Amino acid sequence: MKLEFASKSTNESFARVVVAAFAAQLDPTLEELSDIKTAVSEAVTNAIIHGYEYGEGIITVECSIYESIIEIEISDSGKGIGDLKEAMEPFFTSKPNLERSGMGFTVMETFMDSLEVESMEGKGTVIKMSKRIRELSDKER
Ligand SMILES: Nc1ncnc2c1ncn2[C@@H]1O[C@H](COP(=O)(O)OP(=O)(O)OP(=O)(O)O)[C@@H](O)[C@H]1O
Ligand SMILES: [Mg+2]
């Protein structure tokens, strides 16, 4: 699945709902679905406010399913991240004046099973994350 949309705050909930609808075919629990939506929100919000700094741009979301694992890739062609190690530290934010808490990457790491970030200054950022959807036994259904 591949989705492209304009970097606008109103599209954040749109992206979250589309990914959730795609993930639904794995029959996730409500908790798993909520984890995925939260992680997608964080990544898309980052692309809008940090990548494009509220300016114009295109955000791409790609999702694949491999057996019971969903892989989600969220890319922007915005300003990129200079020091990735620092950016991924809990509580680090480059926009403290906007009341950001610097917890976006930590949230993505916590709610997903894996998180990889590739970024180049002036080129953009790609966030890859995956989550295994636990298969419920008949008794749990
Ligand atoms: N797509 C992106 N493009 C450019 N810089 C980014 C991007 N995503 C994250 N960053 C940088 O990484 C920092 C940390 O991101 P993170 O999401 O953890 O915190 P935050 O967005 O600052 O605060 P919060 O997510 O808690 O509101 C950001 O402050 C920003 O400098
Ligand atoms: Mg953030």
Contacts of 89 (CB under 8 A, 6+ apart): 102
- Coil/strand/helix, residue 111: helix
pLDDT cut 90: percent of the chain above it: 91
- Three-state SS for 131? strand
Q: Which residues have a catalytic role annotated?
A: 42, 46, 100
- For residue range 71-129, list pLDDT tens digits in order: 999 999 999 999 999 999 999 999 988 788 999 999 999 999 999 999 999 999 999 99
CB atoms within 5 A of ion ligand 2 belong to 46, 104
Ligand 1 atom closest to Cα of residue 106 = 18
Ligand 2 center–CA 103 separation, angstroms: 6
Q: What is the DSSP letter of 76?
A: E
**Does the Cβ of 87 fall within 6 Å of ligand 1?**
yes
Is ligand 1 within 6 A of the CB of residue 104?
yes
pLDDT at 6: 98
Give the residue, by CA position, lying nearest to ligand 1 atom 29: 93
Quote the Cα angle for 96-6-114, to 5°. 60
pLDDT above 80 for 139: no
| Mean pLDDT value of segment 27-55 | 97
State how far the Cα of 22 lies from the Cα of 34, in Å rounded to an integer.
13
**pLDDT for 138:** 65
pLDDT band at 39 (very low <50, low <70, confident <90, very high): very high
